């Protein structure tokens, strides 16, 4: 319940967080986000009831929704005049998200087995304090003129939050349940209202012209499918280790560390070089296909399987695919956006990844449960359920890879045609894919 509260708040507020970063200044929003996150962590750690913990997790989600787009905007601003250093900085930023998830499982196991569960939240306090101290060294970015689109912000925040809420609850309530259908219809109505508002107000939260930025749409589609494949893989792999192979929380977290190491090393040392040489399209498409290969390998897990033979090599292949695709997709979504909309572009790409993650996890959880993953203690049934989830995630990744290769190739051809007519070329279209 607490995790769902975080996901709902985080996913619902990312777009607003990105726009606030543009209007109020990225450093100011980044600082505010960490302050809110620390506050939420203290509330969750001190909670004596489940509802207080849920409230603390929701506050953490609000802080995270401010931090994520502001951090990316700061990087784009600080290294705007040095593409090589920008690539390195984005590699470090990109590695933190997927690698942080697997590292978090390991640390969570350490805290729950050797200390106590509040330490899962307490750890954010010193990290946040150190980050706030370091933030003082960053140059301030002057806020831009403009009003906050309150109606648009309310509509999109409520719509995204309701959509995420419906999706994460659907495995329990049922996809065809009246409650789920009404929630999804309500979310669709709110998001439709948001787009109507954006067409009518003078200073919209999300100027619709941003979707004319080259590769923004295709890169966000890739991020949606990447999240829909990667997050369920990480989740079901952890369940397989614990419920089938009998690993404890600490051991299962430790088993995921090789993936974390590969992600960190490959993203920070290699992906930026490959991006400079081959462009975003081949890496995104190829990375998604490699991820699909790793997922197909994982789908062959057995009730009597072993970590070294059945899990480790397949998980490393999947992590390699993630390492290839994640940063190029982020860069493709951000590179063509005007400087005054960098935070918005960041908010959009973070939102699509989170929505894809929530949709993928909810749908594949329902699939796995229907195939036997809900029968605790029945190892063959559990394995069949997890295997079906890995297979479905592989299909999602493969579709994403093939679609990205086709769409970005088409966009590259269109960009080349426009370059032959310089007087009609829009800013930002000169960056290759």
For the chain, give every domain's residue range: 2-148+205-424
- The span from the CA of 90 to the CA of 349, in Å, is 14
Mean pLDDT of 123-137: 89
Mean pLDDT of 212-234: 87
Of 56-65, 153-162, 205-214, 306-315, minimum mean pLDDT range: 205-214
Q: Is residue 259 very low, low, confident or very high in pLDDT (cuts 50, 70, 90)?
A: confident
Q: What percent of the chain has pLDDT over 70?
A: 85
Residue 104 has what pLDDT?
66
Mean pLDDT of the chain: 82
- Give the residue, 376 or 38, on which the prediction is more confident: 38
- Give the residue, 77 or 282, on which the prediction is more confident: 282
Residue 237 has what pLDDT?
92
Mean pLDDT of 395-409: 89
Give the CATH class of 2-148+205-424: mainly alpha
Residue 32, pLDDT above cutoff 90: yes
Residue 93, pLDDT above cutoff 60: yes
- Give the residue, 336 or 328, on which the prediction is more confident: 328
Residue 428 has what pLDDT?
44
Q: How many CB atoms lie within 10 A of CB 244?
A: 18
Residue 253 has what pLDDT?
78
Residue 332 has what pLDDT?
85
């Amino acid at each position: 319940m607490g995790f769902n509260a975080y996901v709902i708040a985080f996913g619902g507020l990312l777009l607003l967080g990105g726009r606030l970063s543009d209007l109020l200044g990225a450093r100011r929003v980044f600082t505010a986000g960490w302050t809110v996150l620390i506050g939420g962590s203290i509330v969750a750690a001190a909670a004596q009831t489940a509802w207080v913990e849920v409230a603390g997790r929701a506050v953490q989600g609000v802080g995270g929704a401010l931090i994520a787009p502001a951090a990316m905007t700061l990087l784009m601003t600080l290294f705007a005049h040095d593409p090589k250093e920008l690539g390195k900085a984005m590699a470090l930023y990109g590695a933190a998200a997927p690698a942080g998830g697997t590292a978090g499982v390991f640390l969570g196991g350490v805290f729950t087995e050797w200390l106590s569960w509040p330490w899962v939240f307490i750890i954010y306090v010193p990290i946040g304090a150190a980050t706030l101290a370091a933030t003082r060294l960053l140059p301030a970015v002057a806020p831009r003129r403009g009003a906050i689109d309150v109606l648009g912000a309310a509509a999109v925040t409520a719509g995204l939050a309701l959509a995420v809420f419906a999706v994460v609850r659907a495995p329990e309530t049922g996809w065809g349940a009246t409650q789920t259908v009404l929630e999804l219809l309500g979310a669709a109505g709110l998001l439709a209202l948001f787009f109507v508002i954006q067409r009518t107000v003078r200073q919209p939260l999300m100027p619709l012209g941003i979707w004319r930025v080259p590769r923004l749409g295709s890169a966000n589609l890739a991020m949606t499918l990447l999240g829909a494949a990667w997050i369920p893989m990480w989740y079901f792999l952890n369940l397989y280790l614990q419920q089938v192979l009998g690993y404890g929380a600490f051991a299962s977290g430790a088993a995921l560390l090789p993936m974390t190491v590969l992600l960190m090393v490959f993203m920070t040392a290699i992906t930026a070089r490959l991006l400079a040489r081959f462009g975003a399209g081949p890496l995104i498409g190829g990375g998604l296909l490699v991820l699909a290969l790793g997922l197909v390998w994982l789908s062959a897990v057995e009730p009597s399987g072993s970590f070294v033979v059945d899990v480790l090599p397949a998980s490393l292949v999947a992590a390699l695919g993630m390492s290839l695709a994640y940063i190029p997709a982020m860069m493709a979504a951000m590179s063509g956006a005007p400087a005054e909309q960098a935070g918005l572009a960041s908010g959009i790409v973070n939102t699509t990844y989170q929505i894809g993650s929530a949709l993928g996890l909810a749908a594949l959880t329902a699939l796995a449960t229907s195939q036997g993953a809900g029968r605790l203690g029945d190892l063959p049934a559990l394995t069949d359920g997890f295997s079906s989830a890995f297979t479905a995630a592989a299909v999602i990744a493969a579709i994403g890879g093939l679609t990205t290769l086709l769409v970005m190739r088409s966009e590259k051809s269109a960009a080349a045609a426009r370059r032959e007519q310089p007087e009609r070329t829009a800013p930002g279209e000169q960056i290759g894919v």
